[in-house]
């Protein structure tokens, strides 16, 4: 190498180091773009996580349009701040905080792979504060939601009603399979639950009636599907339709802001009002924290199947009473 060529190579190397790049790397520049690294991270680090779909959607929708063609090593702290602030300024504080967390992990992974030298999200404060939701729908509100669900287009009406009767997570019901219904119980394996633990959901008489009346698509194991190949999606549109039906049935008055997940919290609160033991409620919800956390969870393996069945049947009677407008067979369970 001649002297002039050596000086040019030295300048290029110094410039690369100044940008946080490794001058010894021989990979094509395109391979070090944010989009390429993000795709590799999703495949290698996130593909087996339950949150994969949500994380990929955030990256594709809110990050790639801004950074897609950038070299990931050239993305600095100022770029990170501007991206997160832009999301927060839309009023999406929770999304901004989640995007911060996803990108912090992505850049940390890239450091471990030797792609970059520094993480621009390290010690970068998250915007706002985490919002802890505590919305609980009262009986009158739950009755409005139930009746509106009956007027909501298939397959979302039965889904909302089953969410109320079972206190299950939205994904657990929306992706329900016929093979997971064992008589009067829904049995989910660890791949279908948030905590990766098998979970049994007893079906009350009212819930069983709903399931028995559902149409079944030939050749498909999915309960709620319009294609036979994938479970139903489009909850945002369905929730809007449900809200519109609630408003029509409530003399033009909408419910105060609420989300589908609030149904689960409302059912858990209703079970507590009926006198159901906290451990039984946690078992119904499929929680492994709270009273079943730590060493207690290791040795306490009782599934509370009988107690869960009684509690959810009592809750179903209560739901039937408030939605029919007639006194029902409401059973208050003793705390024991």
Domain of residue 244 covers 139-324
Assess whether 155 and 282 both reside in one domain: yes
Q: What is the pLDDT of residue 142?
A: 97
pLDDT in tens, 123-144: 999 888 766 678 999 999 999 9
Q: What is the pLDDT of residue 13?
A: 83
| Residue 272, in any domain of the structure | yes
Assess whether 71 and 212 both reside in one domain: no
CA distance 262 to 160: 11
Q: What is the pLDDT of residue 165?
A: 98
Q: What is the pLDDT of residue 326?
A: 60
Q: What is the pLDDT of residue 257?
A: 92
Q: What is the CATH number of the domain that holds 267?
A: 1.10.443.10
Q: What is the pLDDT of residue 197?
A: 86
CA distance 50 to 138: 31
| Residue 4, in any domain of the structure | no
**How much is the pTM?**
0.66
Q: What is the mean pLDDT of residues 78-103?
A: 92
Assess whether 148 and 107 both reside in one domain: no
pLDDT over 70 (residue 157): yes
Assess whether 186 and 317 both reside in one domain: yes
pLDDT in tens, 159-168: 999 999 999 9
CA distance 8 to 6: 5
pLDDT in tens, 238-269: 999 999 999 999 999 999 999 999 999 999 99
Share of the chain above pLDDT 90, in %: 67
| Residue 275, in any domain of the structure | yes
Assess whether 72 and 143 both reside in one domain: no
Q: What is the mean pLDDT of residues 222-232?
A: 93
Q: What is the pLDDT of residue 275?
A: 95
Cβ contact 108:72 at 8 Å: no
Q: What is the CATH number of the domain that holds 65?
A: 1.10.150.130
Assess whether 283 and 157 both reside in one domain: yes
Query: Across all residues in the chain, what is the average pLDDT?
Result: 87
pLDDT over 80 (residue 147): yes
Q: What is the pLDDT of residue 65?
A: 93
| Residue 226, in any domain of the structure | yes
Question: Could you say which DSSP state residue 182 is in?
Answer: E
Assess whether 66 and 161 both reside in one domain: no
Q: Which phi and psi angles does 48 have, rounded to 5°?
A: -95, 5
**Domain end residue (candidates: 77, 112, 147):** 112
Assess whether 189 and 250 both reside in one domain: yes
Residue 47 pLDDT class (50, 70, 90 cuts): confident
pLDDT in tens, 51-70: 888 899 999 999 999 998 88
Residue 333 pLDDT class (50, 70, 90 cuts): very low
Assess whether 106 and 161 both reside in one domain: no
| Residue 303, in any domain of the structure | yes
Sheet containing 181-182: order of strands: 181-182, 185-188, 199-202
Q: What is the mean pLDDT of residues 4-26?
A: 75
| Residue 166, in any domain of the structure | yes
| Residue 241, in any domain of the structure | yes
Assess whether 67 and 155 both reside in one domain: no
Assess whether 105 and 148 both reside in one domain: no
Number of domains observed in the structure of the chain: 2
**Which 3-state string (H, E, C) describes 184-240?**
CEEEECHHHCCCCCCEEEECCHHHHHHHHCCCCCCCCCECCCCCCCCCCCCHHHHHH
pLDDT in tens, 83-95: 999 999 888 888 9
Q: What is the pLDDT of residue 25?
A: 59
| Residue 132, in any domain of the structure | no
Assess whether 41 and 187 both reside in one domain: no
Residue 11 pLDDT class (50, 70, 90 cuts): confident
């Amino acid at each position: 190498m001649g002297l002039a060529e050596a000086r040019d190579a030295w300048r290029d190397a110094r410039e690369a180091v100044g940008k946080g790049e490794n001058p010894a790397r021989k990979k094509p520049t395109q391979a070090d773009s944010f989009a390429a690294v993000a795709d590799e991270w999703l495949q290698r680090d996130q593909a087996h996580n339950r949150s994969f779909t949500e994380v990929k959607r955030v990256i594709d929708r809110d990050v790639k349009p801004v950074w897609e063609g950038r070299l990931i090593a050239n993305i600095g702290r100022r770029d990170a701040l501007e991206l997160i602030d832009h999301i927060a300024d839309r009023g999406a504080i929770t999304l901004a905080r989640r995007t911060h967390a996803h990108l912090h992990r992505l850049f940390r992974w890239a450091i471990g792979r030797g792609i970059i030298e520094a993480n621009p999200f390290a010690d970068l404060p998250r915007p706002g504060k985490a919002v802890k939701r505590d919305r609980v729908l009262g009986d009158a509100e739950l009755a409005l939601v139930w009746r509106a669900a009956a007027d909501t287009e298939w397959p979302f009406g039965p889904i909302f009603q089953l969410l109320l009767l079972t206190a299950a997570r939205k994904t657990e019901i929306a992706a329900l399979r016929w093979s997971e219904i064992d008589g009067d119980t829904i049995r989910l394996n660890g791949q279908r639950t948030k905590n990766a633990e098998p979970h049994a959901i007893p079906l009350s008489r009212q819930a069983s009636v709903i399931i028995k009346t559902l149409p079944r698509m030939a050749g498909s194991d999915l309960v709620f599907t319009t294609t036979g190949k994938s479970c139903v999606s489009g909850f945002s549109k369905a929730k809007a339709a449900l809200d519109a039906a609630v408003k029509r049935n409530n003399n033009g008055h909408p419910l105060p802001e609420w989300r589908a997940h609030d149904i689960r919290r409302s059912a858990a609160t209703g079970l507590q009002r009926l006198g159901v033991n906290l451990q039984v409620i946690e078992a119904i919800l499929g929680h492994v924290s709270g009273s079943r956390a730590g060493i207690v969870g290791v040795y306490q393996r009782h599934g509370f199947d009988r107690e869960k069945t009684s509690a959810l049947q009592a809750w179903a009677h209560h739901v039937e009473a408030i939605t029919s407008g007639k006194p029902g067979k409401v059973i208050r369970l003793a705390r024991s």
